[in-house]
Each structure stands twice: as C-alpha cells, then as structure tokens.
Amino acid sequence: MSIGKRLIDLAKSELNSLLDRAAGSDDDDLDGDPDKDLYHRYGVSALTDEELERELDRRRKAREAAAKEAAARASRPRPQAERPRPSPPPRPSSSDEIRRAYAALEVKAGSDFITVRKSYRTLMRKYHPDRYGQTPEKQKAANELAAKLTQAYDVLEKHLRK
C-alpha cells in the first residue's frame, strides 16, 4: 500500500471519528468538558484537578532535571584515554632504506616525487589484492606486496617532501 493511500485512509478515519464525536457530543457531553475524550485517551480520567497539577509539576521537574544533567554532561571534558593513538609511521633511518624503497617501486634512485607516485600507482593497479580475490594464495601474496609498496611509497614521500 502506498504512503499516499495510507495517509488518505488515516485522514478518513480521523474525519469519521471527529464526526462521530461531534454527533455524540450533543447527547453525551452534558458536563461541558470539551477535553473529556482526551482524559480517557491519555489515562487521566480518574485524576482530580489537584492530582493532575501535581503530575504535571512532577513531569516538568523531571524534564528540567534531565536538561540540567544533559548540559552538565556536555560541559564535562571527555577523557582522551578512550582511544589509543596510532603509532607514528616508521622513519627512514638510512640511505639504504631509501635505496630499497626506490627498488621496491621499480624506479632508479634519486627520481623525483612525480615519477615515484606514478610508479606506485601503476604497481598498485597491477598488484591490487582485489584483482586476485578468486584464489586465496594469490590474494595473500597481493596483500603482502601491496603493503610493501605502500610502505616504500610512504618512506619516499617523507624523504622527497622535506
């Protein structure tokens, strides 16, 4: 059933209930209280006016207390120890590590950053693990190779962007 049909049916039922209530209010509603059916609907028909006032005050105070608590909770500083901080990436310690990174990306040592990035992207397209999803052995090897390529790229990126 479509939403429009549901809305039309709901409007019809509400209109019918209003018409029934209006037709019955001339005979049944002798005390002059227009909210009589609301009292029954929300379960407050047995309450006196004083009890109703007390219940309203209690609910108002509960809302205010909840709002104060929410404001106090929002103003408290959050502890920073909830999530561990990531460890910094490894730093190139020697020129040998940089030379190995150039070799892993299949570019000659001393190449500029644009050449390194181009080679990295080409190799990642060639050896990306998603291309080898059908065989678990090939996917595992591709995962390891992609990790090594990414690590080599990170080393060279830090070295070349100093």
Q: Is residue 146 situated within a structural domain? A: yes
Do residues 58 and 115 both lie within one domain?
Answer: no
Do residues 114 and 150 both lie within one domain?
Answer: yes
Q: Is residue 55 situated within a structural domain? A: yes
Q: Is residue 85 situated within a structural domain? A: no
For 8-62, what is each residue's pLDDT tens digit?
A: 888 888 887 877 877 765 555 445 565 566 556 666 566 677 877 888 888 889 9
Do residues 100 and 67 both lie within one domain?
Answer: no
Q: What's the confidence (pLDDT) of residue 29?
A: 47
Q: What's the confidence (pLDDT) of residue 21?
A: 78
Do residues 121 and 68 both lie within one domain?
Answer: no
Inter-residue contact 70 to 80 (CB < 8 Å): no
Q: Is residue 79 situated within a structural domain? A: no
Do residues 143 and 103 both lie within one domain?
Answer: yes
Containing domain of residue 61, as a range? 43-72
Q: What's the confidence (pLDDT) of residue 41?
A: 61
Q: Could you give the number of structural domains in the chain?
A: 2
C-alpha–C-alpha distance, residues 149 and 102, integer Å: 10
Q: Is residue 126 situated within a structural domain? A: yes
Q: Is residue 30 situated within a structural domain? A: no
Do residues 122 and 153 both lie within one domain?
Answer: yes
For 65-98, what is each residue's pLDDT tens digit?
A: 998 888 888 887 766 656 666 666 555 456 889 9
Do residues 102 and 140 both lie within one domain?
Answer: yes
Q: With the CA atoms of 150, 156, 157 and 159 taken in that order, what torsion angle do they form, in degrees rounded to the nearest 10?
A: 150
Q: Is residue 23 situated within a structural domain? A: no
Do residues 60 and 115 both lie within one domain?
Answer: no
Q: What's the confidence (pLDDT) of residue 85?
A: 66
Q: Is residue 5 situated within a structural domain? A: no
Q: What's the confidence (pLDDT) of residue 135?
A: 86
- State the CATH number of the domain containing residue 137: 1.10.287
Q: What's the confidence (pLDDT) of residue 39?
A: 59
For 103-158, what is each residue's pLDDT tens digit?
A: 999 998 888 899 999 999 999 999 888 888 888 888 888 899 999 999 999 999 98
C-alpha–C-alpha distance, residues 41 and 53, integer Å: 18
